């Protein structure tokens, strides 16, 4: 298998056959993503291989905010008592044809790198994700995400942790 290329979604990416096993994630990339892009509701990045425009995986980033009180006490300690800015990892999915080959990790690392880059230009406290199920939650926890206090399926990773991991 060749190297993955992560690209901003374009018209010529082939999305119609995408199947990750989760109907809502399939429907989003097949039918809804273009409207989200046009309206500035999110930016979707896709994984393709050289010479092949078929989407094998994707993720969507959007801006968001969370209440400081939803963070564990240790993380909320020095924060103001109002909403704090976050990057929302709105979706992440891998086509069944390439499950188990590490593409989910490649996509997540790319999303975290983009989030870290954004944090150099504007205020971002963390990356937040809403896990669809226990399997997705376990995936994010392997990368250091922690649950928010108000919803165990809503997880976060502080930008400071991402920065520390990115240092050589």
- Catalytic residue numbers, as ranges: 140
How many angstroms separate the CA atoms of 25 and 28, rounded?
Answer: 5
Classified as helix, coil or strand, 84 is strand
Provide CB contacts within 8 A for 49, sequence distance 6+: 1, 2, 3, 4, 5, 56
What ranges make up the beta strands (E) of 17-67? Answer: 43-49, 52-67
């Amino acid at each position: 298998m060749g190297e993955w290329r992560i690209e901003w979604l374009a018209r010529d990416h082939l999305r119609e056959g995408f199947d990750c096993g989760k109907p809502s994630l399939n429907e989003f990339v097949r039918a809804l993503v273009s409207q989200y892009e046009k309206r500035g509701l999110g930016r979707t990045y896709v994984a393709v291989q050289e010479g092949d425009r078929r989407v094998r995986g994707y993720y969507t980033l959007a801006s968001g905010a969370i209440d400081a009180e939803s963070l564990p006490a240790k993380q909320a300690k020095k924060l103001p008592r109002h909403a704090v800015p976050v990057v929302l990892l709105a979706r992440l999915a891998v086509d069944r044809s390439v499950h188990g080959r590490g593409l989910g990790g490649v996509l997540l690392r790319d999303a975290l790198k983009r989030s870290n880059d954004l944090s150099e230009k504007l205020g971002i406290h963390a990356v937040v994700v809403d896990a669809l199920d226990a399997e997705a939650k376990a995936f994010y926890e392997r990368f250091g995400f922690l649950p928010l206090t108000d919803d165990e399926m809503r997880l976060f990773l502080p930008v400071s942790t991402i920065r520390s991991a990115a240092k050589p």
